[in-house]
Structure 1
Amino acid sequence: MTEIDDDEMQRELAASRIYILLILHRTEGASGRATSDIVHEHARRNFALRADGILPIVCPAVDDGPYAGIGLFDATLEETDRIMRDDPGVAAGIFTYELHAVRGFPGDALPGLPAGAEAHAATPPPRPAAEQMYLSVHTLAGDAATLLAAKHEHMDPVVDRLAPSHGAVASITVAGSAGLTTYNVWHDAEGAARFSQEPEALQAQQRSGLPAPETFMAYPDVEVTLY
């Protein structure tokens, strides 16, 4: 915590001035479509007061408590009371309010985004670079649910453990009325071929009872973008 000595405190206090604190309360009538429209206009008016510098700090409440929000007016107590009596939400009985004279420090403001966060939020991240990879697509004919069950029980544990070391990137299996279609993405064809000859993979294939692919297609140079 920053150390503040007495001299600095006195300098800051000497520069302070009086503002008017608004505490806005919800009433039991704050519900319904008509109320929503009035609250919308209340908010629009707050935006206008903020743009004019009269209500430089406005903080609507975001919980379900009795308070609708708070604000700081750069006006006298009488001026602020007159402004609030004309508020559409107050006039409709949706809100009540209380005003208090408070002391504040000119130039204070609510903290913004962390340093650099505004530029980061405004600028979308660069699109990941596409890579050339190997895609294989094969279909298995049969009952999709039966085929999936055998795949999950016998093939997936071996694939999950061994395939990444051979350059496997992703696998998508689509169940259809005629069976399964599987799309496998590898860094290269050589890695896919090495995995297909793994003894454990061959044994898992045999144990699974899965049929030989009905169709098989290979695409050696597909463009893949990983987000």
Structure 2
Amino acid sequence: MARNESPAALSAPDIAAVAIELLAERGYDATSVGELADALEVSRSTFFRRFKTKEDIVFADHTYLLERLANSLADDTADPFAAVNAACLVVLKYHMARPESTLKRHALLRSNPSLRERELVMSHRYERIFRDHLKSRLQDDGDQSWVASAYAAAAVAVHNDALRGWFEDESIEVAAILQRQLGELAQAFRSRVSPAGQQAARVVVAVYDPSAPAEAILDSIRGALSPTDVRIFRT
């Protein structure tokens, strides 16, 4: 069998798919690194230069996705919550475009504790790039510094829950479900913070006697607000 100098001859998604197919067929523990290298048409030394362990190759496409998302988020100037939501949908649609490989990896994870632990590590990597993006785009407010971490973790959890729902019932419209759920999540968080450089919006509801003079009404509103909340501009 001809051997390539590098598994780069295959894309990361294809590398993962080849590995998952072989591991699903022969069993994770029963498949040797040599057999994986043969399937990729590379030498063992080349395999180990690119992938340190069998676990690495199972998640090769996750590394590809993480790099892709980090680059796209770095250039995204839209609403930061919407940007993270869009990234979650990119990940889901990636898996949905490869249902056979996605289902076989899911079966591998369920049968192997070390792979399940590695999956948690990958989830934390997604959380980290989402958190870093949110921190860079949201107003720096010490009282709300937890929002970026909380939203990143919540978005990943919502994504994973939607994917688990699809594993149980492949007929569901999982992308539409995830989009709706992430939208609801963003709505719950968005009121807590503002984009960096902007003041958080405030809403004042006043109940007043329509016959009262306008200045008297305004004086009452000013008196009900703390001094730091009041901004009076004179022309």
Instruction: Tell me, yes or no, whether TM beats 0.5.
Output: no
Higher percent of residues as strand: 1
The TM-score normalised by the length of structure 2 is 0.20
The TM-score normalised by the length of structure 1 is 0.21
Q: Which has the higher contact order (CA 8 A, sep 6+)?
A: 1
